[in-house]
Amino acid sequence: MTSFSPNWQPPAITPLDSAVAASLRAAIDGKAKPPGSLGRIEELAVQLGLIRHPGEPRGEKAVLLVFASDHGLVAEGVSQYPSAVTVAMVMTYLAGRASANAFANANGIELRVIDIGVAAELPVHPLLRVAKVRMGTANAAREPAMTTAQAAEALAHGTRIAIGEIKAGADIIALGEMGIGNTAASALLAHRLAPASLDDCIGVGAGQDDAGMRRKRAAIEIAAARSAATAPLEVLAEFGGLEIAGMAGAVLGAASQRRPVLVDGFISSVAALLAIRLCPEARGYCVFAHRSAERGHDIVLQALDATPLLDLGLRLGEGTGALLAVPLLRAAARLLTDVASLDDVLAGRI
């Protein structure tokens, strides 16, 4: 069943046809290798084959979408950094000097930065896409982070941007984010949408000390007590953030075009959780890149019955874990398309 609001409706998404999985598994088992010898890469190849069916999976062109936004909740001391760091990091991406740029360049991946709610006007830049809904969210400890109409607008922007990249040739959409305070917003969304204990969803984020964690936990508890929302769109509007909404929309947009979505860490996984709560058919199109060290990520992964590809102790965000996983998707796609069958090898038809 698809969830929707009078303000917004997700794009049509075709559920993966599980009946095709057996034929894909048989094709992989018939390759020139012992059955099962490539482990989880074989499982990934089946998923990619289902996503692109009846076409062949491809992974040549991958695009990382880094959605950026500010959070009013920062006023409560939920982060050790001020909101100005969001702008500073966006400018670092545009200068090509962030970790996400380095990892993207190392793997031949294109990067886009989407200003969906940065609390500043940013200069025109070839890497920047402007889809600003508002100048950051409101303070969710005191009032709703945004209106439902603004939440719907952010979702629509993410959907549109992902579809546009796919129409321009993208085979893989990877998700990234930047927004000081967004682990606090993500904890609130995970708490309501998983659902899970609020305390189990709250982590150190960018590196809070003990005093900072007390402030963060107190602010999040105040925000949670302010609203009893549980419906996905209402939870998003109450607690934010705009970059989470944008990523959720991108999940839905990519799924509507039958393309895989590489989900990064905790915050991106919360966005995927939101997308799947809005439209369950999107689940089959999500590939979870890595297990974040941020507390709460395991809860979200469990809620989605997801096993990530990598476990490297990462908790940076920016899409860095997703970027590291792109080569695995490319390899899995080529397992289906490039590897000879054992029958052809034995018959000398190579």
Taking only the tens place, the pLDDT of each residue in 38-52 is: 999 999 999 999 999
198 and 340 in a single domain? The answer is no
* Same-domain pairing of 49 and 69: no
- Helix (H), strand (E) at residue 333: helix 320-338
Contact 31, 339 (CB under 8 A): yes
Measuring CA to CA, which residue among 220, 209, 150 is closest to residue 183? 220
Cα 85 to Cα 206: distance, rounded to the nearest angstrom? 12
Task: Classify residue 207 as exposed, middle or buried by CB count within 10 Å of its CB (0-12, 13-18, 19+).
Answer: exposed
| pLDDT value at 270 more than 60 | yes
Domain shared by 233 and 207, yes or no: yes
State the pLDDT at residue 5.
53
Short-list 304, 278, 67, 314, CA closest to 175: 67
Based on the fold, state whether residues 50 and 101 are members of the same structural domain. no
So what's the pLDDT on residue 8? Answer: 74
**Dist. CA 328–CA 211, nearest whole Å:** 40
Same domain, 315 and 201: yes
Report if residue 13 sits inside a domain: no
Backbone angles phi, psi at 203, to 5 degrees: -125, -175
- What mean pLDDT is predicted for residues 292-299? 95
Going by C-alpha positions, the residue among 219, 85, 225 that lies closest to residue 139 is: 219
Transcribe 265-290 into DSSP letters. SHHHHHHHHHHHHH-GGGGGGEEE-B
pLDDT digits (tens, 9 = 90+) for 111-150: 999 999 999 999 999 999 999 999 999 999 999 999 999 9
Q: Are residues 164 and 83 part of one domain? A: yes
Instruction: Establish if 12 belongs to a structural domain.
Output: no
Write the pLDDT tens digit of every residue in 123-133: 999 999 999 99
* Confidence at 6, pLDDT banded by 50, 70, 90: low
Indicate whether 2 belongs to any domain: no
Quick one: which of 281, 66, 36 has its CA closest to 161? 66
Q: Is 143 a catalytic residue?
A: no
pLDDT in tens, 159-176: 999 999 999 999 999 999
Percent of the chain exceeding pLDDT 90 equals 92
| 11 in any annotated domain | no
Q: Report the relative pairing of strands 172-178 and 128-130 from DSSP bridges.
A: unpaired
Shared domain check, 173 and 100: yes
| 260 plus 342 within the same structural domain | no
116/150 same-domain check: yes
Q: Are 127 and 100 in contact (CB under 8 A)?
A: no
Note whether residue 167 is domain-resident: yes
Residue pair 248/274 in contact by the 8 Å Cβ criterion: yes
Look at the chain and report how many structural domains it folds into: 2
Phi, psi angles (nearest 5°) of residue 198: -60, -45
pLDDT of residue 350: 81
Query: Are 212 and 79 found together in one domain?
Result: yes
With contact defined as beta carbons under 8 Å apart, do 17 and 39 qualify? no
- Tens of pLDDT along 207-242? 777 888 899 999 999 999 999 999 999 999 999 999
DSSP string, 159-196: HHHHHHHHHTT-SEEEEEEE-TTHHHHHHHHHHHHTT-
Considering 153, 177, 243, 318, which one is annotated as catalytic?
318
Q: What is the domain extent for residue 39?
A: 18-57+335-346
User: Are residues 82 and 38 part of one domain?
Assistant: no
Cα 198 to chain centroid, rounded: 21
Among the ranges 77-81, 91-95, 200-204, which has the highest mean pLDDT value? 91-95
pLDDT at 2: 46
Average pLDDT, the chain: 95
Does 3 fall in a domain?
no
For residues 39 and 150, membership in a common domain is answered with: no
Q: Where are the alpha helices (DSSP H) in 35-181?
A: 39-52, 84-94, 99-106, 148-167
Domain assignment present for 94: yes
Res 210: pLDDT: 82
In degrees and rounded to multiples of 5, residue 23 shows phi and psi of -70, -35
1, pLDDT greater than 80: no
pLDDT above 70 (res 4): no
CATH number at residue 241: 3.40.50.10210
Peptide bond into 10 cis (omega under 30): no
